[in-house]
Amino acid sequence: MAADLTGRSNTVAEATTKAPVRLLVNGQPYELLVPVHRTLLETLREDLQLTGTKHGCEVGECGMCTVLLDGEPVLSCLTLTVEVEGRTVTTVEGLERGGELHPLQKAFAQMGATQCGYCTPAMLLTAKSLLDRSPSPSEDEIREALSGVLCRCTGYIKIIAAVEMAARQMGAPDSVA
Amino acid sequence: MASARRSLNVVGKPLPRVDAWGKATGRTRYADDLSLPRMLYGRLLLSTQPHALIKRIDVSRALELEGVVAVITGRDVPVRYGIMPVGQDETALAVDKVRYAGEPVAAVAALDEDTAEEALSLIEVEYEPLRPIMSIEEALRLPEPRIHDYVPAGNIHRLASLEFGDVAQGFAEADYVREDLFFFQGNTHLPMEQHSALAYWDPAEGKLTLWSSTQTPHYVQRALAKALELPENRVRVIATPVGGGFGGKSDPFHHEICAAKLSMLTGRPVKITLTREEVFYAHRGRHPELMWVRTGVKRDGRITAMEFQAFLDGGAYSSYGPATTYYAGTFQTITYRIPHYRFQAVRVFTNKPPCGPKRGHGTPQPRYALEVHLDKLAHDLGLDPVELRLRNLTGPNEVTVNWLHITSNGLRQCIERIVEASGWREKRGRLPYGRGIGFAVSAYMCGAGLPIYYNDMPHSEVQVKVDRSGNVTAYSMAIDIGQGSDTVIATVVAEVLGLYPEDIRLVTADTDLTPIDLGSYSSRVTMMVGNAAYEAAMKARQLIFRAAARELGVPVRRLEARDRTVFDRRDPSRALPFAEAARLAEARFGLISTIGSYRPPQRLGTYKGSGVGPSPAYSYSACAVEVQCDPETGEVKVEKVWLAHDIGRPINPILVEGQIEGSVYMALGEVLMEEQAFRKGQHRAPSMLDYKSPTIKEMPPVVSILVETDEPRGPFGAKEVGQGPLLCVIPAVANAVYDALGVRIDETPITPEKVLKALDEKAKGGPGRVGPERKPDFAFREPTRVERPPGWPHYRPHEEG
Ligand code: FES
Ligand code: FES
């Protein structure tokens, strides 16, 4: 079937319907008035200028736009801002604590897990949610957890190694070898 | 040159890349992360037709929509451009005719994205469809309708026909001759970042600035100037960190010119970010290629002659196609001594998105054909495929039959290391049915020896500035596309000045502020920018050493720089902090600002076509792949990959491994899954869901082995690694499938369906092969005969100083 080359979605009229939303992003409370069809991705990048969150398709296929919603990874391109009323959002900008990088960030930098870096924010957040619930994951668990985020540069090997290293450093000495 | 014998401080050390921290914190600003006050959002309207005349475009309704600021069509930007001087066949928006479904025909700028998108639906385009030409065979068979009329005949874009030595004589000397046909399917780069460009026209200055996710800011600057009829020095292009390129962001693109034009018309900044679907149409990816190869050998496996023919599906425009056409036949000779070699290629136009350079530019296809062909030849002769190769290898310091100058050459070591590490001798032909091991080798250039447009200026220049705070800044137009060019520059400069890579500030990829680098393509950056950076840093060091020598009362030649200190090698207590030495140097000489310029060595060949292939040096790779195939489902699972790469010397081993692993990943996608396929004139799957590529779950372990040959022309002995390692993986997988199941899949991707079909055919007593059956009926013109280097293979060129 031929692709729809004009890519229709929302009309301008719909864009004018707005709703109030309160949310907590990286510990900071916000009250916003957003169009009801506005995605969390757009709100983060355009309204809050948190451009660390990336996009590669905006239709739920690449995982670049992953953020944590109450600690769980979600695709922000498929999440409407109005749906996250009252919830907690973590983006890559929220990984640092008091100027100190998260062990995953350090491990990604040191192990060469970032090349072009475009998938890195999504990888970091997805890995964080994994380590938060499973501090010493097996390699298979890591692969499973990260499988929704594509990376075209690294071949994933150094990403897996970085997650393993961070797990070890976060106090799980018996993590996978 | 820059090869160093002394012990190295930061070169070769596994340090984090200098841009790692920005990337690991989300601070790196990619093109779409940028915005400017009063910025408008642009969108492109795409052709729904693969081949049609544009009868009418009516934009009036779109212009009436509230929030729409400007709409342009092909007539507003009619000047032709293209990446190569011989391929000026593109316009920013189609003029009168569309040549592929997905080609932009109009562009809109509006206050927000939704409005821009809405406006697209209000543009009316009336097409008069023409018959689409959708395959190599059709393009060769049908001279009409013509996709372009600037080429001499029909839909044939480019031709190459060369003969080195005397192929007839070579075949006459052969004991055995074999020929094979292969097809390599087209596939695309699929960078995670969509292309994006932000343009700002300053009417007061009469100056255009474009921030763009591009691998080639200099070439984009030239194309913008041409297409918009501006003086080149009124166009500033700033390449933003590229979120994946792989060759796919090396052409000037529609959206870049449209954003600029819309900004000029509206007086406001305009940003256009492609949708994922549009990225599939922007393409410039791997050419689908049909290949025929015939080789004559002696009984012991020594090659006596080879003929190679390639039929390339170029898509609708030239792009880098004239070069790609030659790359189909150029590098066969840098791995093997081929005494008599004939190469012929034809690139055709079809009504599909244009093909161009993808990692390995035009060489993965012939490498796949060659390496599978040689595997078959070895089996015919009862030889170990590794043995067959060892009997034909090129060596260091030789000139190939087509006049390419090989300097360092670690191919033999690569092969030995792979045979050893993979257990090749124990495994080949001995693994249980369904399991197999395959082998292949490859080579690649370290930068194209010629620029895209002819000129005799340097290919790369670096400026190094040292200020009185001790701060060191390196200026270079090189753009980091993830391959690590920033880290290479910083590491080279830091090594020379006795600093650490993190001490070096970088100003890169800005055509106003930085001296030339031609771009991140053809694996040229480490070699060319690295050498320029080395030269500039050495000149700065010389000034600093002269000032320090006077202060310390020791001769310059006894000074050394290390750990941010300049000191007397004989008495290290006589030392100055680097910053202090820099201040003394500035006091004595004025501003410490030095330059380095790199120009590749002169090519040796002088025949027509000899401009494609020459390079300062060549990298080599060898690879073994172990697979597990399921004869019930046809599925091929890659269990492990061993890859040895002749890197010369690694500037940073983490980056080198990263390039090897990324290359293996990309190769596995190409050989097993990926295809840019079309149906009824339309792209079959312009989405990531449908375009199947490997995920983290399919990625096998990779054993990377670095072979060091200390390339005399490389900075600190270094060679390329970004592209070469991809090449050998593809045929190694195909050969492994044969070892596992006894069937030959002579066509990529090797899908389960093809494996099952071949098994089925074999069970019925057939040869067990899936692949092209017939060579197209096409008469190449008589090849141009080129003399071999005198005394080949023992010809030695005069080394440059
Ligand atoms: S942007 Fe691709 S999944 Fe959200
Ligand atoms: S590092 Fe480039 S996509 Fe992952």
Are A58 and A107 contained in the same domain? no
Taking an 8 Å cut-off on Cβ atoms, the answer to whether A64 and B192 are in contact is yes
Q: How far is CA B50 from CA B96, B130, B137, B140, B697, in A?
A: 14, 8, 17, 18, 36
d(CA B588, CA B406): 44
At B685 the pLDDT is 85
Residue B605 has what DSSP assignment?
Answer: -
Instruction: Check pLDDT > 80 for residue A7.
Output: no
Q: How far is the CA of B21 from the centre of ligand 2 (A)?
A: 14
Phi, psi of A29 (to 5 degrees): -80, 140
Domain interval for residue A141: 103-169
User: Token digits for B512?
Assistant: 């106003």
Counting ligands in written order, the one closest to the CA of A114 is 2
Phi, psi of B434 (to 5 degrees): 100, -20
Give chain B's mean pLDDT.
97
Q: Which residue, B591, B476, B470, is CA-closest to B524? A: B476
Residue B449 has what DSSP assignment?
Answer: S
Report the range of poorest mean pLDDT among A151-160, A167-176, B341-350, B382-391.
A167-176
What average pLDDT does the segment B659-674 reach?
Answer: 98
Residue B331 confidence class, pLDDT cut points 50, 70, 90: very high
Give chain A's mean pLDDT.
90
Q: How many CB atoms lie within 10 A of CB B153?
A: 8
Phi, psi of B79 (to 5 degrees): -75, 135
Pocket test for ligand 1, best of A45, A77, A146 (most atoms within 8 A of CB): A77
d(CA B204, CA B223): 22
Q: Which residues of B touch A149 (CB under 8 A)?
A: 696
Instruction: Check pLDDT > 80 for residue B6.
Output: no
d(CA B203, CA B778): 54
What average pLDDT does the segment B340-353 reach?
Answer: 98
CATH of the domain at A87: 3.10.20.30
**What is the per-residue DSSP string for B5-39?**
-S--SSTTS-PPPTTHHHHHTT----GGG---TT-
Instruction: Check pLDDT > 90 for residue B290.
Output: yes
d(CA B445, CA B331): 9
Counting ligands in written order, the one closest to the CA of A121 is 2
Taking an 8 Å cut-off on Cβ atoms, the answer to whether B665 and A155 are in contact is yes
At B483 the pLDDT is 96
What is the SS3 assignment for B86-102? HHCCECCCCCCEECCCC
For residue A149, being part of any structural domain is answered with yes
d(CA B212, CA B274): 12
Taking an 8 Å cut-off on Cβ atoms, the answer to whether A92 and B664 are in contact is no
Does the CB of B471 have a partner CB in chain A at under 8 Å?
Answer: no
Counting ligands in written order, the one closest to the CA of B665 is 2
| Burial track B325-346 (b if 16+ CB lie within 10 A, e otherwise) | bbbbbbbbbbbbbbbbbbbbbb
**First-to-final CA distance of chain A:** 48
Pocket test for ligand 1, best of A64, A69, A149, A152 (most atoms within 8 A of CB): A64
Q: How far is CA A72 from CA A80, A128, A132, in A?
A: 16, 9, 10
d(CA B79, CA B63): 24
Ligand 1 lined by A63 (C-beta under 6 Å): yes
For residue A12, being part of any structural domain is answered with no
Taking an 8 Å cut-off on Cβ atoms, the answer to whether B662 and A12 are in contact is no
For residue A175, being part of any structural domain is answered with no
For residue A9, being part of any structural domain is answered with no
What average pLDDT does the segment B275-296 reach?
Answer: 98
Of A5, A118, A143, the CB nearest to B244: A118
Does the CB of B129 have a partner CB in chain A at under 8 Å?
Answer: no
What average pLDDT does the segment B669-674 reach?
Answer: 98
Phi, psi of B493 (to 5 degrees): -65, -45
Report the range of poorest mean pLDDT among A12-16, A82-86, A117-121, B326-330.
A12-16
Question: HSE of B801 in the Cβ direction (CA atoms, 13 Å)?
Answer: 0
- Percent of chain B whose pLDDT exceeds 90: 98
User: B 149-168 residues with CB below 8 A of A?
Assistant: none
Q: Which residue, B451, B398, B73, is CA-closest to B262? A: B73
For residue A8, being part of any structural domain is answered with no
Residue A171 confidence class, pLDDT cut points 50, 70, 90: confident
| Burial track B127-144 (b if 16+ CB lie within 10 A, e otherwise) | beebebbbbbbbbbeeee
Are A66 and A119 contained in the same domain? no
Number of domains in chain A: 2
C-alpha distance from B98 to closest chain A C-alpha (Å)? 14
Q: Which residues of A touch B695 (CB under 8 A)?
A: 147, 150
Q: Which residue, A154, A103, A100, A155, is CA-closest to A124? A: A103
Instruction: Check pLDDT > 60 for residue B190.
Output: yes
Count Cβ–Cβ pairs < 8 Å, chain A vs chain B. 204
Q: Is B435 helix (H, G, I), strand (E, B) or coil?
A: strand
Q: What is the four-CA torsion angle of A79, A81, A84, A85, rounded to 10 degrees?
A: -160
Asked if CATH classification 3.40.50.720 holds for the domain at B20-28+458-598, the reply, yes or no, is no
Q: How far is the CA of A151 from the centre of ligand 2 (A)?
A: 5
Taking an 8 Å cut-off on Cβ atoms, the answer to whether A52 and B25 are in contact is yes
Taking an 8 Å cut-off on Cβ atoms, the answer to whether A120 and B192 are in contact is no
d(CA B69, CA B65): 9
Find the residue in B nearest to A91 (Cα).
Answer: B26
User: Token digits for A134?
Assistant: 């499973």
Q: Which residue, B355, B306, B284, is CA-closest to B136? A: B355
Of B35, B657, B662, the CB nearest to A153: B662
pTM of the model: 0.96
For residue A125, being part of any structural domain is answered with yes
Find the residue in A nearest to B275 (Cα).
Answer: A57
d(CA B414, CA B418): 6
Q: Name the residue with the closest Cα to ligand 2, atom 4.
A: A151
What average pLDDT does the segment B771-794 reach?
Answer: 96
C-alpha distance from A141 to closest chain B C-alpha (Å)? 10
C-alpha distance from A122 to closest chain B C-alpha (Å)? 10
At A5 the pLDDT is 40
Instruction: Check pLDDT > 80 for residue A173.
Output: no
For residue A72, being part of any structural domain is answered with yes
Are A38 and A86 contained in the same domain? yes
User: Which of the residues B45, B64, B114 would you substitute to probe the A interface, choosing the one with the greatest number of A C-beta atoms within 10 Å?
Assistant: B114
CATH of the domain at A124: 1.10.150.120
Are A115 and A61 contained in the same domain? no
C-alpha distance from B486 to closest chain A C-alpha (Å)? 11
Counting ligands in written order, the one closest to the CA of A59 is 1
At A2 the pLDDT is 33
Are A47 and A70 contained in the same domain? yes
User: Token digits for A143?
Assistant: 């692969």
Of A64, A93, A156, the CB nearest to B696: A156
Are A148 and A115 contained in the same domain? yes
B670, containing H or E segment:
helix B653-672
* Domain's final residue, options A47, A62, A94: A94
Residue B313, strand partner residues: B348
Tokens 């409407």 -> residue: A80
Residue B601 corresponds to which amino acid? P
Residue A79 corresponds to which amino acid? T
Query: E strands, B100-150, where?
Result: 104-110, 124-129
Q: Which residues of B touch A77 (CB under 8 A)?
A: none
Indicate the angle between helix axes A157-169 and B653-672, nearest 10 degrees.
130
d(CA B162, CA B139): 23
* Domain's final residue, options A94, A117, A143: A94
Residues B327, B331, B334: CA angle, nearest 5 degrees: 165
Query: E strands, B118-175, where?
Result: 124-129, 156-164
Residue A16 confidence class, pLDDT cut points 50, 70, 90: low
Q: What is the pLDDT of residues B454-478, one digit of tens each?
A: 999 999 999 999 999 999 999 999 9
Are A24 and A80 contained in the same domain? yes
The phi-psi region of residue B717 (left if phi > 0; otherwise alpha if psi is between -120 and 50; otherwise beta) is left
Of B194, B482, B664, the CB nearest to A115: B482
Does the CB of B637 have a partner CB in chain A at under 8 Å?
Answer: no
User: Token digits for A79?
Assistant: 């999440």
B34-130+192-244+249-282: CATH topology is Aldehyde Oxidoreductase; domain 3 (3.90.1170)
**First-to-final CA distance of chain B:** 9
Instruction: Check pLDDT > 60 for residue B791.
Output: yes
Instruction: Check pLDDT > 70 for residue A15.
Output: no
CA A126 from centroid of its chain's CA atoms: 6
Ligand 1 lined by A74 (C-beta under 6 Å): no
What is the SS3 assignment for B522-577? CCCHHHHHHHHHHHHHHHHHHHHHHHHHHHHCCCHHHEEEECCEEEECCCCCCEEE
Q: Which residues of A touch B115 (CB under 8 A)?
A: 12, 15
Asked if CATH classification 3.30.365.10 holds for the domain at B289-450+605-786, the reply, yes or no, is yes
User: B 641-660 residues with CB below 8 A of A?
Assistant: 654-655, 657-658
Ligand 1 lined by A75 (C-beta under 6 Å): yes
At A98 the pLDDT is 86
C-alpha distance from A167 to closest chain B C-alpha (Å)? 17
* Domain's final residue, options A94, A116, A132: A94
For residue A1, being part of any structural domain is answered with no
Q: How far is the CA of B746 from the centre of ligand 2 (A)?
A: 31
Pocket test for ligand 2, best of A126, A152, A160 (most atoms within 8 A of CB): A152
Residue B176, strand partner residues: B297
Residue B640, strand partner residues: B626
Q: Which regions of chain B carry the CATH code 3.30.365.10?
A: 20-28+458-598, 289-450+605-786
What average pLDDT does the segment B606-610 reach?
Answer: 95
Q: Which regions of chain B carry the CATH code 3.90.1170.50?
A: 34-130+192-244+249-282
Find the residue in B nearest to A121 (Cα).
Answer: B26
d(CA B371, CA B485): 31
Q: Name the residue with the closest Cα to ligand 2, atom 2.
A: A116
Of B275, B483, B665, the CB nearest to A7: B275
Are A85 and A27 contained in the same domain? yes
Taking an 8 Å cut-off on Cβ atoms, the answer to whether B688 and A52 are in contact is no
Q: How many CB atoms lie within 10 A of CB B593?
A: 17
At A172 the pLDDT is 52
Instruction: Check pLDDT > 70 for residue B250.
Output: yes
User: Token digits for B762?
Assistant: 């074999």
What average pLDDT does the segment A164-168 reach?
Answer: 97
User: B 218-237 residues with CB below 8 A of A?
Assistant: none
Pocket test for ligand 1, best of A45, A51, A57, A152 (most atoms within 8 A of CB): A57
Indicate the angle between helix axes B653-672 and B724-741, nearest 10 degrees.
50
d(CA B331, CA B367): 8
